[in-house]
Chains A and B, each alone.
Chain A
Amino acid sequence: MIDELRELAKYKNLLMQLVLRDLKVRYKNSALGFFWSLANPLVQVATITVVVKYVMRLDIPNYSAYLLGGYLPWMFFQYALLDSSQVILLHRDLLRKVYFPRELLPLSVVVANLIHFILALVVFFAYLLFYYIFLHGSPILPTVLWLPVLVGLQFLLLVGLTFVVSALNVFYEDTKYILTVLMNVMFYLTPVMYVSELVYTRLPEAHRTLLFKLYLLSPLNMLTEAYRKTMLPAFHGGVRGEQIQSLPLDYGMLAICAIVCVLVAVGGYAFFNARKWVFAERV
């Protein structure tokens, strides 16, 4: 694997070119360009806010901010995985013609989506600054410094998962369909439109702490909550008269999450490497 990484380093310009090409082609013929990648989450978030706040009556002050705090990482997760399922087939002519480290293709997908995610985060931060600091005079949260770590962990997680998804889809094109279904399910299972505190209060009281730790073992659950808790203030809210308190960030579980993300990245890379030289024969 060390040799593979060394070879990869030689081709870093190709990685850059693949990412650039992806971004250029995506917005080439649209007048508003990057705006569209912001419009989609904003419309989604507005819709979910109306439903959750006024129909389901989840009452968290400034709920949209908590929703966005979970929704932006979710978008990064979803689009990186969905794009990666197609990336090998999309470059089939290139694969069949010329040598280059194959892992650059899924990597470029994650990097391109990472750029979108970071740009969206910048806009989100401008909003947070305006709302909390400017309008409410709250202090800046020092935990925001965790953000690069969280983004790094999600990046590793996605690199590992996209390696597996992109390789599998070469052999079984069902992968992308299964993935689409899974994504729909995952969206509801992950605390994106609700907060994990709601899950916590619904767990049987006797084993609540242990079960909640198991729940946070899923890196996606853990990361979503960590993004929220580091970027946004603790809240006191309620749902239909029932009080909900925000829980502190579980740093122990975050450490375990970090280990899981690294393992997924390494495992995914090994899975990909074992198959990558057959792609040209199969696509």
Chain B
Amino acid sequence: MKPAIQLHSVTKIFDMIREKQTSLKSAILSFRHARPQKLVAIKELSFTIDHGETVAIIGRNGSGKSTLLRIIGRVYKPTGGSVEVDGRMSTMLDLGAGFHPELTGRENIFFNAAVMGLGTAQVRDKIDQIIDFSELNDFIDTPVKTYSAGMLMRLGFAVAVETDPDILLIDEVLAVGDAAFQEKCYKRIDAFKAAGKTIVFVTHDLEAARAVASRTIWFDKGEVRADGDTQATVKAYLDCRL
């Protein structure tokens, strides 16, 4: 069987935009001199994630974790190398990205699921499940602008997980929500894992990594510092910081 995610010597180089170089004037002025500075965010990275794995990506701020997640999620095109993904991906969205404050929870679910690539009929089939999981039945027809941060997170997680993707990408959002709902999320993730689905998430919360991830990748300055069993990787990460 093909692995869920395969990276083949992926490199990502950004053109550093020093001051916001989005005006015609600066483009003309800097036409000949001043080539943009390059920032190597990911260097020659190769790894494989199998179906059914739950992988946490940890690392300091600016280490390239989110860039990595975006490369996997096809938001960024790698500068070099290639990414192969097997199965349908979905990304957990937050306010700003996937939710419009003026629209109701239900309307936002339809939009959000469409972003994940679902058709209208598929969303209709799943809408009750999504609402049930989010526990927002009483608020589902009120505009999202009245929701609390925790409610939004619940809705985002519910759409991402109940639209039944093969691979779920999460960027630093599991920390929100009360203990009971967090417990429910962890349970849902376990069921997800048991069904042979794959989860990749970026986090600063080492407890979250310990709680759900079987494998953890410690990412530092665009390179993998450690990759393997969560307990061992987290320990190495903590030892290095001390």
A174 and B24 contact, CB distance less than 8 A:
yes
- In the assembled complex, B3 has its CB within 8 A of some CB on chain A: no
Complex-state Cα separation, A228 to B76, whole angstroms: 46
Residues of A within 8 Å of B118, CB to CB, are 13
> With A98-B97, A172-B27 as given contacts, are A21 and B70 in contact (CB-CB < 8 Å)?
no
Size class of the contact patch on chain B: 35 or more
Are B97 and A94 within 8 A (Cβ)? yes
**Complex: how many Å from CA A172 to CA B30?**
13
By a CB distance below 8 angstroms, the chain B residues around A280 are 70, 75-76
Check B114–A17 contact: CB distance below 8 A.
yes
Q: Which residue on B lies nearest to A15, using beta carbons?
A: B114
Q: Is B107 an interface residue (CB 8 A)?
A: yes
- Point out the residues of chain B lying under 8 angstroms from A96, CB to CB: 70, 75, 97
Question: Chain A contact residues: over half helix, strand or loop, or mixed?
Answer: helix
The answer to whether the Cβ of B186 comes within 8 Å of any Cβ in the partner chain is no
Given contacts A25-B102, A282-B22, contact A277 B76 (CB under 8 A): yes
In the assembled complex, the Cα of A281 lies from the Cα of B78 at a distance in Å of 12
Pair A94/B115 contact, Cβ less than 8 Å = yes
CB-based contact A21/B115 at 8 Å:
no
Chain A 94-119: CB-based contact to B (< 8 A → 1; otherwise 0): 11111110000000000000000000
Q: How far is the CA of A206 from the CA of B114 in the complex (A)?
A: 59
Residue B100 lies at the interface, judged by CB distance under 8 Å to chain A: yes
A24 in the interface, Cβ–Cβ < 8 Å?
yes
Pairwise interchain contact B102-A29, C-beta atoms closer than 8 A: yes
Find out whether the CB atom of B23 lies under 8 angstroms from the CB atom of A98. Answer: no
Instruction: Contact check, B117 vs A11: say whether CB atoms are below 8 A apart.
Output: yes
Q: What's the least CB distance linking A181 to chain B, in Å?
A: 13
In the bound complex, do residue A172 and residue B103 qualify as a contact, i.e. CB atoms below 8 Å apart? no
Chain A residues with Cβ below 8 Å from B89 are: 99
Check: B181 CB closer than 8 A to any chain A CB: no
Judging by beta carbons under 8 Å apart, are B75 and A97 in contact?
yes
Closest B residue to A91 by beta carbon equals B97
- Within 8 Å CB of A4, what residues of B? none
Given contacts A13-B120, A29-B102, A97-B91, contact A173 B22 (CB under 8 A): yes
The 6 closest A-B pairs by CB, nearest first: A99-B74, A93-B96, A17-B114, A14-B114, A93-B97, A174-B24
Besides A97-B93, A98-B75, 7 new A-B residue pairs in contact (Cβ under 8 A), listed by A number: A24-B103, A25-B103, A94-B93, A98-B93, A100-B117, A172-B27, A280-B75
A contact set with B: CB distance below 8 Å: 10-11, 13-14, 16-18, 21, 24-25, 28-29, 93-100, 170-174, 277, 280-282
Residues of chain B whose beta carbon lies under 8 Å from any beta carbon of chain A:
14-15, 17, 22-25, 27, 70, 73-77, 89, 91, 93-94, 96-98, 100, 102-103, 107, 110-111, 114-120, 123, 171
